[in-house]
Amino acid sequence: MNINKWMTATAVSIGLMAGSTLATAQEQDWSKVEIKTEKVSGNIYVLFGQGGNIGVSVGEDGVYIIDDQFAPLTEKIKAAIAALSDKPIRFAINTHYHGDHTGGNENLGKEGTIIVAHDNVRIRMKKGTFLKAFNDHVPPKEGLALPVVTFNDQAGLHLNGEQARMHYVANAHTDGDSIVYFEGSNVVHMGDTFFAGMFPFIDVDSGGSVDGMIAAANKVLAMVNGETRIIPGHGQVTDNKGLTSYRDMLVTVRGRVAEMKSAGKTLEEVQAENPVADFLDSFVGFSAEWPKLFVGFVFNSL
């Protein structure tokens, strides 16, 4: 999947998740979305489509997935998984509450899939959320759309010959993020705590912060080695070098923005200083305005 395709997919995903912010979100034709499958390592695969990257574990015990994109894509996602295994999807782990990662919950729940997430994911989905950054109201969910198994720190699934360990990371992309470490396959799915090669969306309105994003990256870097494959929430599968580069960008930009903010500069003044200028060749945005928006996420979370 080339960079232009996943940039477009992520841009549309953010637009759909956050109302009508992007024009492309208004014109989404789900019939044109293709689900692409890539083997990561061992019995772990990743599906690219429209929304957050889906991790897939297949084996003798069945199938379980990490995130499930948007509801209109469920049948396409199931077809892609059926090409890997004829066994049912037993569990779906939501890495956080955003609709481009949880939209398929209800469809899967109707077929018996058990939805798993951090406590705060269920709380936010059940009550609804206002995203000030995009002036968007996310309506409450109910019934099978909600996680039915939740945890407050860590949890594990022991299926398909290995443990998948879910680790809560506080106040990173949101206040309910989980990373999932497939310990036998040496694969980590980071959800939206990691936008590979991209300036991330930090959902400050839902408890996210740049400090939490940095802490999440550091937590994973302490777990992995040079052979680990890392699935980001958006972007291409990478390794510890790709994550290190991303972490270092966050640390540098955070330091610059914090220094200017502590000196009394306004958000507009900080944005005008363009503290991401030297990263524009290495990290992409979803529009010409995105780097400025990213600086705003950092500023508002400090």
Locate all alpha helices (DSSP H) within the chain, ordered by sequence: 3-17, 23-26, 74-82, 99-102, 105-109, 119-127, 210-223, 240-262, 267-273, 290-301
Using 50, 70 and 90 to split pLDDT, how confident is the model at 288? confident
**pLDDT greater than 70 at residue 8:** no
One-letter amino acid at 69 equals Q
Domains defined for the chain, CATH in brackets: 3-251 (3.60.15.10)
Torsions phi, psi for 140 (to 5 deg): -65, 150
Percent of the chain at pLDDT > 70 equals 91
Q: What pLDDT does residue 11 have?
A: 58
What's the whole-number average pLDDT of the chain? 92
**pLDDT greater than 60 at residue 25:** no
Q: What pLDDT does residue 141 have?
A: 95
Residue-wise pLDDT for 212-271, tens only, equals: 999 999 999 999 999 999 999 999 999 999 999 999 999 999 999 999 999 999 999 999
Q: What is the pTM of this model?
A: 0.93
